[in-house]
Amino acid sequence: MQHFSYDHLYRFTYDMLKKIGCPDEDAQLGAKVLLSADLRGVDSHGVARLSGYVRLWEKGRINPTPKVSVTYETPSTAVVDGDAGLGLVVAPFAMKVAMEKAKNVGTGWVSVKNSNHYGIAGYHAMLALEEDMIGISMTNASPLVAPTFSKERLLGTNPISVAIPAKEEPAFVLDMATTTAANGKLEMLQRKGQDTPSGWVQDKAGTPTTSANGVKDGGALLPLGGDREHGSHKGYGLGAVVDILSAVLSGANYGPWAPPFVAFLDPLPNLVGEGIGHFFGAMRVDAFRPAEEFKGHMDQWIRRFRSAEPTPGHEKVLIPGDPERELEIIRKLEGIPLLDPVVQDLSELGKKFGVNF
């Protein structure tokens, strides 16, 4: 484990995105979005993925100079075509379309097709906060998750983020996969040679397992809830809604057709749409009640929950977004820790492209 400054990793990511042909502005934005994951502690979605994006570009599956455009719209909705660009760049474009519509008619809702992995959901939802809007962000992803009673992997970890502004308190920021656990946590357990808790994974035969290698060996991640008795049909239902709003509504690939992020797996034949899909929403708070009034009540909501009496062995009740915000402060000061295999991967990537890591 080594620590690297934000600036160091930003510079490297920016340089790499320039190397694969991104325009200057896109390389800046892409680096910023990708590294927001490292700052907020979602290590699996940050710079550790950079070489994954580059490999997709090598395969011709990422277009470094996309013409991102609105292809269909009404006063409160739009469909955005990402032109196979980096999701890191396509997503903020689409979120801004949603926010522009919210300025005009109260809310804006944008479904995106022909995109790629967009980093962490929370980054895009949080863009709305600056304008006193509620931001919503979701995306479909590589099929790694088995619906309740399914042996097959048909859904991605399909995250949902909702960001809600407050007044003096920091914003409420939910950012969650619709599975029991994210794939990144599984990879950490694999490295340590440890088992998973129950309800995270099923094996190739569709039987529950605690092997951290279960997914790698042909099994699947499980929807939030883990099994039917603990409500996995709800996690499955939520992941399905994310898939449908992101991809069926826009014309992207849905369910098992969502193209895999790993470049060594080819997309399925007979695709049902273009690229992967995202869905964004922006709601102006003052389209419902005066913003100051709303934000004052959000402060009260947050304070009441944070001051609730904790259960034995726990210090306090957390507000969604608390852990990520606290980590961001620490990592800006102390740097971002990268595991040795990630450091090695980035060094090799730099060497290959003549960029100094």
327 binds a copy of itself (CB under 8 A): no
Residue 149 backbone zone (phi > 0: left; psi -120 to 50: alpha; other: beta): left
Q: Are 350 and 54 in contact (CB under 8 A)?
A: no
Of these, 114, 209, 320, 357, which contacts a copy of itself (CB under 8 A)? Answer: 320
Q: Specify the stretch interacting with a copy of itself by CB under 8 A; choose among 26-34, 58-66, 123-131, 225-233.
A: 225-233
Of these, 284, 346, 349, 357, which contacts a copy of itself (CB under 8 A)? Answer: 284
Of these, 30, 41, 235, 275, which contacts a copy of itself (CB under 8 A)? Answer: 235
How far is the C-alpha of 78 from the C-alpha of 305, rounded, in Å? Answer: 36
Pairing of strands 220-221, 133-139: unpaired
Biggest CA-to-CA distance, the chain:
55
- Residues with Cβ < 8 Å from 21, sequence gap 6 or more? 57, 64, 65
300 binds a copy of itself (CB under 8 A): yes
Nearer of residues 36 and 77 to a copy of itself, judged by Cβ? 77
Nearer of residues 87 and 199 to a copy of itself, judged by Cβ? 199
250 binds a copy of itself (CB under 8 A): yes
Mask: binding to a copy of itself, 133-172, rule CB under 8 A, as x and -?
-x-----------xxxxxxx-x-----x-x-x-------x
Of these, 20, 174, 339, 343, which contacts a copy of itself (CB under 8 A)? Answer: 174
Nearer of residues 34 and 238 to a copy of itself, judged by Cβ? 238
Of these, 8, 191, 216, 289, which contacts a copy of itself (CB under 8 A)? Answer: 289
25 binds a copy of itself (CB under 8 A): no
233 binds a copy of itself (CB under 8 A): yes
- Local structure of 151: helix, strand or coil: coil
84 binds a copy of itself (CB under 8 A): no
Smallest CA-to-CA distance from 184 within 58, 61, 38 is with 38
Q: Specify the stretch interacting with a copy of itself by CB under 8 A; choose among 6-14, 47-55, 123-131, 254-262.
A: 254-262
DSSP codes of every residue in 247-259:
IITTT---GGGSP
Of these, 8, 21, 24, 72, which contacts a copy of itself (CB under 8 A)? Answer: 72
From the CB of 237, what's the least distance to a copy of itself, in Å? 4
Q: Are 110 and 77 in contact (CB under 8 A)?
A: yes
Instruction: Specify which residues 173 forms β-bridges with.
Output: 163
Q: Report which residue type is found at 169.
A: E
294 binds a copy of itself (CB under 8 A): yes
Q: Specify the stretch interacting with a copy of itself by CB under 8 A; choose among 47-55, 58-66, 116-124, 200-208.
A: 200-208
- Residues with Cβ < 8 Å from 111, sequence gap 6 or more? 77, 78, 79, 80, 245, 246, 249, 250, 277, 278, 279
Tokens of 35: 């590294």
How far is the C-alpha of 135 from the C-alpha of 328, rounded, in Å? Answer: 20
Of these, 14, 109, 123, 280, which contacts a copy of itself (CB under 8 A)? Answer: 109
Q: Are 169 and 298 in contact (CB under 8 A)?
A: yes
C-alpha R_g of the chain: 20
Nearer of residues 7 and 105 to a copy of itself, judged by Cβ? 105
From the CB of 41, what's the least distance to a copy of itself, in Å? 14
How far is the C-alpha of 336 from the C-alpha of 316, rounded, in Å? Answer: 26
Q: Residues in contact with a copy of itself, total (CB under 8 A)? A: 89
From the CB of 319, what's the least distance to a copy of itself, in Å? 8
